[in-house]
């Protein structure tokens, strides 16, 4: 969701996966050209708007400082709903942001039926930036009970 120089995709280049590098329109530095020069794919996106893709398209979203970037531009809930729309059931999201932001995100995605865990930054627990790992749980609506069927008759 914030590709920077495409390092995440470059780290996975030998794996049998494809990675869409997304450069936010609001990013301070336009890095899409560098991503293309590395032989990777990418696009521009404003996360205050819906992404032009089919629902349930992606298995993994890596969101690096997205909520800090969009603070005071659009609602966190709108971005999370769009992420939920494009993520497949049992797909994962890696959030990297300030700990205060991630505590709020964890609370919201918990209500969206995600399993999640906040972990320390790779440089240690004293760094304010943390990681939040989230998995979209697969669920279906419960079957109607026998009482509901008999009442409807």
Is residue 51 situated within a structural domain? no
Q: Do 32 and 77 have their domain in common?
A: no
Degrees to nearest 5, angle at CA 41 with 54 and 17: 70
Nearest to 66 by CA among 42, 89, 48, 51: 48
d(CA 31, CA 98) in angstroms, rounded, equals: 23
d(CA 67, CA 26) in angstroms, rounded, equals: 12
Q: What is the pTM of this model?
A: 0.82
pLDDT computed for residue 149 by the predictor: 57
Q: Do 31 and 3 have their domain in common?
A: yes
Q: Do 119 and 76 have their domain in common?
A: yes
pLDDT computed for residue 105 by the predictor: 97
* 2-13 pLDDT, tens digit each: 667 778 788 878
pLDDT computed for residue 124 by the predictor: 94
Is residue 135 situated within a structural domain? yes
Is residue 55 situated within a structural domain? no
Which range of residues forms the domain containing residue 123? 65-139
**Total domains in the fold of the chain:** 2
Is residue 110 situated within a structural domain? yes
For the segment 15-38, the average pLDDT, to the nearest whole number, is: 87
For the segment 110-131, the average pLDDT, to the nearest whole number, is: 96
For the segment 5-27, the average pLDDT, to the nearest whole number, is: 83
Beta pairing class for 129-136 and 114-119: antiparallel
Is residue 85 situated within a structural domain? yes
Is residue 153 situated within a structural domain? no
For the segment 48-60, the average pLDDT, to the nearest whole number, is: 90
């Amino acid at each position: 969701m914030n590709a920077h120089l495409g390092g995440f995709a470059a780290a996975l280049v030998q794996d049998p996966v494809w990675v869409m590098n997304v450069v936010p329109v609001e990013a301070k530095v336009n890095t899409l050209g560098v991503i293309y020069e590395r032989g990777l794919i990418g696009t521009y996106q404003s996360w205050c708007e819906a992404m032009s893709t089919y629902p349930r398209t992606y298995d993994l979203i890596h969101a690096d400082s997205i909520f800090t970037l969009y603070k005071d531009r659009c609602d966190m809930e709108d971005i999370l709903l769009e992420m939920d729309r494009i993520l497949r059931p049992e797909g994962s999201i890696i959030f990297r942001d300030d700990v205060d932001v991630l505590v709020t995100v964890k609370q919201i995605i918990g209500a969206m039926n995600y399993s999640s865990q906040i972990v320390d930054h790779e440089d240690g627990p004293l760094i304010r930036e943390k990681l939040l790992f989230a998995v979209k749980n697969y669920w279906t609506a419960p079957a109607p009970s026998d009482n509901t069927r008999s009442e409807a008759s």
